[in-house]
Every structure is written in C-alpha cells, then in structure tokens.
Structure 1
C-alpha cells in the first residue's frame, strides 16, 4: 500500500491562499482539516485528486452534497444543456415548478416549496414563517444541533451548558440568547415542559443529530415532539439539510414516519450545486404571499435546478438506498472490528449512508458523549488515512455516495486498519 509522506503543492497553495483569502479557506470549518487544507484539481465518481497528483477515495463529498459522487454524467449533462440557455432570468422558468413538484412528491406532507441557496438562509425563512403563523417569537433547539451560522441559531452547538443557551462565535449578537430555548436531544419531556411554560413559535431539530455524533432519535421521540407541538400550537421544523434525500428518498420524514410542519432541505438535493429549500404545509409556506419576506437574487437558479432535477431522478431509482445502507453497514462493522482488534475503545455506528466513528468512548448517545471522544486520536487517524489514499472529514463523520462500490469499501477497510495500526504504534 502506497503511503504519501508529504503534500508540497498543496502546502504551497495554502500558503499563497493565506496571503489573499482570510485563513486560506473559503469556510472556517475547512481549517480543521489535517495536516493542513489539501487543494484538489478534479474529482470523478468516488475519487478525488489533489494538486500533487494523489488520488483518494472521497468520503468528504464536498461536506455532503455529492450524493452521486463527483461529476455524475447525468448531472453534468443536465447542467451542460442549461448553460447555453441562460444562467439566470430574474423571473419565472419551467424548472421552478418542475423540481418543486418532484420535492412535493418525494416528501410526505410537503405541499409547497420555497427555493433558496444555503441551509442558513432556508432556516431563517422557516423560523420567520413559524413566527408569522403563531405570532410568537421564541424557538426551541437542541444541544449540538447545527442550523447554520446566522446569529439567531448558532447557539449551544459544541458545548453542554445544562439547558442554558450559549453563544458559539465571537462577534455574535448576545441578544440571540433572548429568543432561544435549549433542550438535550431525545429528552421529550423536557421539551414538553418548556413548551407548556412559554409561548414558543417553533421547535427545530436535525431529525438525526448528524452534526454532533450522528445520533438517531430515540424510539418514539419524534412522534412525541409532534404530539407536544400539536398540543401547544407550536410549529415543528425538521432541518434535513443533511438527512434530506440521504436517509431515504423522502428523507427522515419517510424513514421515521413523522411529518413536521416545515422541512429544510440542502446538500444532497442538487448533487453538488448550491440549492436549499423550505417545504411544508401550504397554509404556512404561503405566508410569503401575505407579507412574509422571502428574497434572494439566485433563488431558483435554472442551472442549479437542472442539477437538482437530474439528481432526484437518479436517487429515485429502485434499490439506491438499500445499496447505500448495505455499504455503510459494511464500513461501520469493519471500522469497529479494526479498532477492537488494535485495542482501541470506540463507538462506531451508522444511520443510512452516514457513518460515525468516535474513538475513546463506548457509545455516543448525547452531545456530552460525542465531545468526550478522543479527537486527537481521530485527527492522527485522518492524517494516516490521507497518507493511504482515503479523504475524510474531521470529527468522525463519513458520507457515502452512490458512486462508491465494493472495491472502494474493501480498499478503505484495508487502509483504515493500517492507519489505526500506525496511530497506535506512534502512541506507544
């Protein structure tokens, strides 16, 4: 197995980038990559190639959007056909309703759709709609859940404060804490108590806590949220930026058979192009025709919607999610066996095609468990994987695409075992 020892062209590119681009990265999360941000030239299918000419099996997948892998022929063809027809119109076009109809058909309970560009924007619109409908201002979120980087929602993301909201960023407006309540994930009765004591416009959650440990909902938890929201007149919002079109064609709504009032979509919906959406009950979403402002120059961009239509068409094929589930299970089982074989305690599991590997703990059932993992070990592991041709995210989350095949999985398991052995040896 070839082992990469250095990345000179990437190191030079990063150093030059830092002279003109703040931090040398276009989003701060990429600065977490070890040993330093790697610069890439192209990707194809499940693989990605850096500027030094090294090729990797890619489990980052653009931090999630590339559900079909890199440069999927159907997506490339759809975008290529649209480009000479125009980049944007500033008015209506046929793809706006055609793709909205695909979304409505895919997700139970979605009657209307609003197009946007990023998850952060879509969450803002969802909360605005909830406030308009209820006439209330507060919302409830859960510890460790990420709903974008705007001031109002970037609260209690990577810290446990026993129910007390906590700011996440320097420069964040402290007034963001005034309108938010925070509860532990999977504690339905605390949610019920908070909603009964206060007027709350919305409860928002990742239906699977993907951003902090890939923690699924406890049995009956989402159904209980639905009941409590109905009892208190609160709008239930599923943030399915990660889970939408990934856990199933109908996302977490289909997988767990619980219908929120609103669902936020992003990442996988357009196969690598910047698209997000809010979907849900017509009486709520149609508030944009009754004075709720929803704006954006690039909303419903025809190129992006061409990519979305092609992506959804591929994901609708028979057996797609069964194969993704099977390969994720093979990876998770292999990772667990390798770590166990080298004497490393770890929690490894998956929900659909999202795998979580958390060394140093035996289970991840809460944000506290996730934060307690040995992330120094995992940082070292991610570098050893990179040396062996496997590109992964920090903090243990792995994404699979339809482009990954059995050979990719076998090669990855071999590289993973060698990488674990190297980290254990270096630590002894």
Structure 2
C-alpha cells in the first residue's frame, strides 16, 4: 500500500489541501521527507528540483541556515504564548519600513485569514456590504470569496462550493481581470465598499495586472470612496522586495501579506493607513482576533528572511534572469515541436501556458491545454523536476538554483517535448 493510499484511510482525500491530491494532473503525489536548498526528497529516496518551494515562501530554498537557526532559537524559548512578544514588533518594523503608504499592520496565521479580515475591515470602515473581486484571483476559502461568475460581466456572485449560503455571496460582484469596463459596471450595479485584487495574479498561473488598468482601478476606488485591497500574499517580497509597489508604484489602502513573511512558517498579515487600521479592535469596533497570531516561532522565521532580503536586494535580478532563461528555453523547444507556448516572468515568479495567446484574464487562461500540462507535469516529475500539480499555479525560483539546474530542466523538457 502506498502512503497516498494509506493517507486516504485517515485524511480526507489523503491530503490537507486539495491541489496536493494531483487530481488535475493524474498519478499519486510523492510524500516529501526532507528538503535542502533547491531540492526535495521523497520517502522513497527520489530527488526533485523543486519549482514550488512551498508555494512561494522559500526564496532562499529549503533549510536555509540563517532562517533555520532563527527558528531553533525561538523554539528553545517556547513554541507559543498567546501573548505579545518583542519579535512581533521587530517584524512589523521591518515590513512597514519598506512601504511609505502603510502605517500599521496586524499579523494572522494564514493568507485566508489576512484577506478575510481585510475585507471585514474595509466593509466596517465604508459601511458598505458589496465587494468586487476578479475572475481567476484566489483570496482564500472564506465564504464571500468562493463565488463563480454568473451570466454577465457585472452579475452578483453565486456560491462555487456547497456549504456557502447564497446570502453570503450575493454581495460579491465579479469583474474581469485587466478589464476596467467590467469594474465600472460593477460599481454602477452595487454599493461597493471595497475592491480586492491580486495586482500580480498567481492563481491562474501568472498573469500580471496591466499598469494602466491598476491605475484606473485606484482612481475609480477614490471616486466612489471604496477601499482598494491588494492581495500580495503570494507576490509580496516575491515579485520584488516591495512586491507590486516596486513595479507599479500604486498605493493600495490595505495590502495583505503571507508566505514570504513567514519564512516557511504559517503567517499572514494585513497593513494599511493608520486611520483605516485603527478601526480594528481593540482600538476600533471591527472585531478580529487569533490565538496564535504573531506566533513567536513564525515571527522569528519571517524576521530572519525579511532581514536577509533587505540586505541582499540584488538577488531579485538574478532570480528573474534564471526564470527568464528557463522560460525562454521552454519557449524555444516548444516552437521546435509545434507546441503552443506563452509565458510571464515577474521577479522570481514564472508562469507558462500551453496556449497560442498570452493570457490577460481568466477566460484566456481557460483556453490553455491543461491535458498537455498534465502530461508535461508527469513526465517532468518522473525525471526529477517538481512543478505545480496544476496548470493554474505559479512557479518559483530560489537562490540555491544554479545555471546547471536551469540547463538540466530545459534539457529534460527537450527530451519529453515530442511525447507531449
């Protein structure tokens, strides 16, 4: 009996997060035993070059010595107190120092918590119930965000999961990514309190927001008095040191963080202007709480990682160059084999599509050949290269990856391209 078969006897679906079950790519997931640098090793001793890196947070790879040491030292003092610690202040300072438009931060334990809390805060500040989200952007699994598109560009959302009451999603309007006209229609239809968007969307592979579109989105929110939330749980400190802010220079009212600021530990956060954030309890009336928020072990890991990033900002260019080299290699081989292929690279993030057109929104992404991606994934995995088990996820480069790793990946794709 495989570990996956055994897991299914005790854990729902054999996994604790659905994409890990490999349903969209087929086969059984390897069970990972350990990681070091750019590589992970499964329980059967197989070695994989890891392009997932725990879905983004491990910029310095697995078991980075400085982050590992920070975690060990923190654990020696205690794993959890449910009380304030100095390391919370230290990490808050390091994060906020980089963003002139963010003045206060609240730490939570996950990205879902961060976005859910940011939306509640925005609704509390504006006293408006309706929100706008974008097709293809994922902000966690809270009820008001699990919606699917209706029949028109400005229809109210309907639940996309059983267990989500229609009353919870009737205040969620769906707009099309990179389409400002769809946003305008939503504002005309509803009483919108906030707009939430991934400025660099990482959950439909990788689709960056258009600069003009994001600028107009800022202006529309100003006009209607709506709060603009940038979900940078994935792109924060990954796309660049300051996430989308370095790329677009657009000041969102609230920014959500996660992944990277935990250094591999479970962490989320949301930050904003003082007048907005002070509407949160215990200062203001909007309630939000979490027993393990600001966990000292997670805060210590995040502090070590953010300090290391700030001390070595030049790594982003190197990571981007490696991502571009990988994608350009894939593109060249795809053309040689008559395979439709397009890609995006933003800093250390990359995403590719078996698609004749470079997608600008979720409709475009859905025209990609997901069966071909499944074949690609299986063959690359069998050759020791660990890509996301879904065509809708972003890939990540880490600092331990070297030129030989990138070349080996390209060469392996060359070998399997004819077969897919």
Question: Is this contact kept in 1: 2:154–2:186, CA < 8 A?
Answer: no
Question: Is this contact kept in 2: 1:385–1:391, CA < 8 A?
Answer: yes
Q: Secondary structure at the match of 1:115?
A: strand
The match for 2:376 among 374, 381, 386 is 381
Question: Is this contact kept in 2: 1:204–1:239, CA < 8 A?
Answer: yes
**Distance 1:68-1:156 versus aligned 2 partners, 3 A rule:** farther
Counterpart for residue 243 of structure 2: 251
Question: Is this contact kept in 2: 1:347–1:359, CA < 8 A?
Answer: yes
CA–CA separation in structure 2 for the residues paired with 1:180 and 1:265 = 22
Instruction: Give the CA deviation at 1:48.
Output: 0.4
The match for 2:161 among 141, 166, 169 is 169
Counterpart for residue 139 of structure 2: 147
Counterpart for residue 358 of structure 1: 353
Listed as ranges, the gaps of 5+ residues in structure 2 are: none
Question: Is this contact kept in 2: 1:208–1:215, CA < 8 A?
Answer: yes
Backbone CA RMSD of aligned residues? 1.6
**Distance 1:161-1:17 versus aligned 2 partners, 3 A rule:** farther
Counterpart for residue 286 of structure 2: 292
Indicate yes or no: 2:391 matched with 1:395.
yes
Instruction: Give the CA deviation at 1:31.
Output: 1.3
The count of corresponding residues between Structure 1 and Structure 2 is: 412
The match for 1:267 among 242, 259, 266 is 259
Question: Is this contact kept in 2: 1:160–1:367, CA < 8 A?
Answer: no
Question: Is this contact kept in 2: 1:62–1:272, CA < 8 A?
Answer: yes
**Distance 1:160-1:110 versus aligned 2 partners, 3 A rule:** farther
Question: Is this contact kept in 2: 1:103–1:110, CA < 8 A?
Answer: no
Counterpart for residue 413 of structure 2: 416
Instruction: Give the CA deviation at 1:65.
Output: 2.1
Instruction: Give the CA deviation at 1:84.
Output: 1.1
CA–CA separation in structure 1 for the residues paired with 2:7 and 2:182 = 47
* Structure 1 runs, 4 residues or longer, greater than 4 Å off: none
Per-residue CA distance 1:85-123 (angstroms, 9 max, x = gap): 111122111011110011101233110000001111111
Counterpart for residue 134 of structure 1: 126
Counterpart for residue 342 of structure 2: 347
Question: Is this contact kept in 2: 1:354–1:400, CA < 8 A?
Answer: yes
Instruction: Give the CA deviation at 1:406.
Output: 1.3
Per-residue CA distance 1:122-178 (angstroms, 9 max, x = gap): 111101111111111110011111010111111238x98644324222222222331
Counterpart for residue 308 of structure 2: 314
Question: Is this contact kept in 2: 1:143–1:184, CA < 8 A?
Answer: yes
Q: Secondary structure at the match of 1:277?
A: strand
Counterpart for residue 26 of structure 1: 16
Instruction: Give the CA deviation at 1:420.
Output: 1.6
Indicate yes or no: 2:68 matched with 1:76.
yes
Counterpart for residue 190 of structure 2: 198
CA–CA separation in structure 2 for the residues paired with 1:166 and 1:59 = 34
Once the two structures are overlaid, the 10-residue window that deviates more, 176-185 or 236-245, is: 176-185
CA–CA separation in structure 2 for the residues paired with 1:416 and 1:83 = 42
CA–CA separation in structure 1 for the residues paired with 2:356 and 2:136 = 17
> TM-score scaled by structure 1?
0.93
